[in-house]
Structure 1
């Protein structure tokens, strides 16, 4: 019996490890094209291009957040029921995909009708407004594509094909890198070229994901049906932690932009643009670990095999901490060359703010990596309320209060330090929630 337990535990660790590796690549692919855009826009648009990009990012985060809301929530329901009650989730994928298409088209129209008003709310003014307007309108057209891509990625990954999702996202990144270069520098389209290239990321990913239909082991079926409110609410209730986690990036960018604009003007906003875009990739790598844990934890929870659930979660937390140590070392040791990649105007002020802020801001990675694993693990075992509380505290209540208070007393450095303070507070509470959930197995 002891041998069987050890063998089972070893098998689970191996399976989770394989999922984590593939999902790290897949998640990084979903965010790397943002980083690529930033590098190319810095070369083409300089400081004001960086500021304009950062002002537009909350809308991009909003689309991704909605995709995660239904993608993570729906795929969790699918993982729990695909073995014990497959009929129950037969049309779930088609329902959520159709809803995201309709919702995304609605947002695309709305944002293109009122772009100036929305950009003003986001903090654009004068030169940044002129630069951001065209980029914003094109990105808005991609709303249904970004949302549907996240739904497809999560369902196909949870249908036992994480390798295809990895290939899809990496292929999308390579296509965007090429198109960024072609449209910005060869055709001289500058910010508009970057926006057009970005639309090809979800298009490429969705095209590659269609090959899942040739997978002989697949159980997932695409049957379009009109989504009922009950289905949408159930998926959203499980996906809300991931929605709030992703959306918190957009909210923090919005709040940080406003505070930094008052403290040090557009140069501070541009410097934050550098840090925020690096943070998106760093968090995507950590999120890849969480997404690797989630399908296995959900499946084993559906079987009520709690030892395997614990094994999956423990491995995720260990890998997340190891990754955090590696990332922080790289970011601190190579902070100056990293910032210089984005500083094509050779602005001394931008460089000073970014180089000083990077080591302070990224102290957060040690806690944020754990928080992402904890929140998605709680959602995987249907403890959505706990994950919901953590998401609200992490992305909104503690963070916004900390930014405003720390900025008042410590200036720009206080803005950077508000992030690790927030993540540390949430991490402590998150471990308490997770321990309580694993003890109470009802």
Structure 2
């Protein structure tokens, strides 16, 4: 069977949606850098790991629940699928409320723990408190997006993400320039965006083709909690981005201070767009992969995997060429004061850091593939290697030996270790079959 038309329809919609989603923080970065300057950019980069945690929790409930939902639907278990959806929505709301409490009670000490100093503490704590207090909306939005996509409406899921992203850009400008709301304006614009997306996604329940139903009484919490394991790799992949930020921020503060963290903020936020594209490919192909697995179609599974890996390698090459051919215009967009030290650090870092994209893209696709075919342990293993187990020791050792060059190189080598692990799992299973 030729799966290319279905692959293009699902993946293109999700890639466009994920690009839009990545612009949540990219828009904040641009407007904060130009309205507040390097101190605001540094404060934002220190706060982003908590945004990664929120997004990771949303991916865990969304991808985990959506994957199990697709498998149940493929097997004709429609009632069980809707009970699972109801349970997963309640889990997402509960996790969001826990994060809300953290933001309301401990935003300032949390900002200090993440590395904010006397210059950036106030800016960072304002941003953290705001986004954490809106965490329930972020989690519910991520969860509903995944279920809508798996219920046969990838374009509506894309529409929700595009709505949230475009509204965030517009509201960032309104709140930070005409209204002069500063860091709080950037944060509240980001927080309104998922609420608007939820309004778009909720129209799915009224569509004649929709099979998705929510019921508090019919919620299956235990199956929903078990389904979280299928989203564990997505959780760790997203959380690892926050870990990378946190570890790199602390190391860079030691070597170059706040200006280095601001430079890394530019690199990290440009990288966020590339990683969002890879995640879009991985999540876009997931409903097709889970359906093929649920119906036992191994030939289609192999086709889908080859298409996804090939696509992310092409996209990695495009991203790498872009940051090497046009580094100065990309940096200048976020360097309001034309700081030559900031520009030099960012330029050197880009050329090393983005080599890791050739390994990060396949890693994200393979980790998602393992979860989509009900092998969550292997997906979790790949995510742990690339995001935590390899990255932290590599960053510490290479930074001590090579300084800033070692910091950038650690990301590349950690992704390479993750890819080696993924290929080992893949070839071992192939030999077993």
TM-score (norm 2): 0.97
Partner in structure 1 of residue 14 of structure 2: 23
Partner in structure 2 of residue 164 of structure 1: 156
Instruction: Measure the CA separation in 2 of the matches of 1:438 and 1:218.
Output: 37
Instruction: Measure the CA separation in 1 of the matches of 2:353 and 2:101.
Output: 36
Partner in structure 1 of residue 172 of structure 2: 180
Displacement of 1:165 in angstroms is 0.9
* 1:40–1:180 Cα contact (<8 Å) kept: yes
1:39 to 30, 53, 61: 30
1:78 to 64, 69, 86: 69
Q: Go from structure 1 to structure 2 and tell me whether the alpha carbon gap of 1:59 and 1:313 turns closer, same or farther (over 3 Å shift).
A: same
Instruction: Measure the CA separation in 1 of the matches of 2:85 and 2:418.
Output: 32
Instruction: Measure the CA separation in 1 of the matches of 2:52 and 2:217.
Output: 27
Displacement of 1:405 in angstroms is 0.8
Q: Go from structure 1 to structure 2 and tell me whether the alpha carbon gap of 1:412 and 1:223 turns closer, same or farther (over 3 Å shift).
A: same
Instruction: Measure the CA separation in 1 of the matches of 2:88 and 2:97.
Output: 14
Displacement of 1:216 in angstroms is 2.2
Partner in structure 1 of residue 354 of structure 2: 362
Displacement of 1:439 in angstroms is 4.7
Task: Map Cα deviations across residues 383-419 of structure 1 (whole Å, 9 max, x no partner).
Answer: 1111111111111010011111110111011101111
* 2:32–2:183 Cα contact (<8 Å) kept: yes
Higher mean C-alpha deviation, range 86-95 or range 52-61: 86-95
Instruction: Measure the CA separation in 1 of the matches of 2:362 and 2:396.
Output: 25
Instruction: Measure the CA separation in 2 of the matches of 1:211 and 1:164.
Output: 9
State yes or no: 1:404 paired with 2:396: yes
Partner in structure 1 of residue 427 of structure 2: 435
Residue-pair matches, total? 432
Note the residue ranges of structure 2 that are not aligned, 5 or more in a row: none
Instruction: Measure the CA separation in 1 of the matches of 2:350 and 2:261.
Output: 14
Partner in structure 1 of residue 382 of structure 2: 390
Displacement of 1:227 in angstroms is 5.6
1:125 to 117, 128, 135: 117
Instruction: Measure the CA separation in 2 of the matches of 1:71 and 1:173.
Output: 19
Note the residue ranges of structure 1 that are not aligned, 5 or more in a row: 1-7
Instruction: Measure the CA separation in 1 of the matches of 2:262 and 2:249.
Output: 9
Task: Map Cα deviations across residues 64-122 of structure 1 (whole Å, 9 max, x no partner).
Answer: 11111111111111000113222222221121112221221222122221112111110
Q: Go from structure 1 to structure 2 and tell me whether the alpha carbon gap of 1:54 and 1:225 turns closer, same or farther (over 3 Å shift).
A: farther
Aligned-partner SS, 1:90:
helix
Instruction: Measure the CA separation in 1 of the matches of 2:428 and 2:211.
Output: 34
2:305 to 313, 319, 329: 313
1:269-418 alignment to 2 at 5 Å?
A: 269-418=261-410
* 2:88–2:225 Cα contact (<8 Å) kept: no
Displacement of 1:209 in angstroms is 0.4
State yes or no: 1:53 paired with 2:48: no
* 1:179–1:197 Cα contact (<8 Å) kept: yes
* 2:74–2:295 Cα contact (<8 Å) kept: no
Task: Map Cα deviations across residues 322-376 of structure 1 (whole Å, 9 max, x no partner).
Answer: 1111111111111111011000021111111001110100001111011011000
Instruction: Measure the CA separation in 2 of the matches of 1:227 and 1:221.
Output: 10
Q: Go from structure 1 to structure 2 and tell me whether the alpha carbon gap of 1:305 and 1:344 turns closer, same or farther (over 3 Å shift).
A: same
* Segments of 4+ moved more than 6 angstroms: none
Aligned-partner SS, 1:265:
helix
Partner in structure 2 of residue 426 of structure 1: 418
RMSD after superposition: 1.3
* 2:14–2:158 Cα contact (<8 Å) kept: yes
1:171-210 alignment to 2 at 5 Å?
A: 171-210=163-202
Displacement of 1:40 in angstroms is 0.1
Instruction: Measure the CA separation in 2 of the matches of 1:434 and 1:26.
Output: 29
Aligned-partner SS, 1:105:
helix
